[in-house]
Amino acid sequence: MIVQTKRTELDEFAEKVLHGVNKALRELVETSAANNQSLVVGDDKGGFKTVPAKELLKTLPKQE
């Protein structure tokens, strides 16, 4: 089944991309926290706010 194989490959690729993005975001927050900086994040209402990186770091899941 060629269609199913391609979907599996796409799912695996998407998972790898998401893992890489999460890793990069965590590194950004860790570096910003180490430098006592803040980051701008979007909220659930389409707005944005500035958050200290140290506070944001507390909300991120642990990296594998």
Predicted TM-score (pTM) of the model is 0.76
Give the confidence band of 6 by pLDDT, cuts at 50, 70, 90.
confident
**Would you say residue 50 has pLDDT above 70?**
yes
Residues 64 and 53 sit within 8 Å (Cβ to Cβ): no
Listed residue (20, 56, 60, 62) closest to 40, CA to CA = 56
| pLDDT average, residue stretch 43-55 | 94
**Hey, what are 24's tokens?**
């990069």
Average pLDDT, the chain: 90
pLDDT at 63 over 90: no
Instruction: Note the pLDDT of residue 19.
Output: 93
Q: Is pLDDT larger for residue 7 or for residue 33?
A: 33
Name the residue among 14, 60, 62, 64 with its Cα closest to residue 41: 60
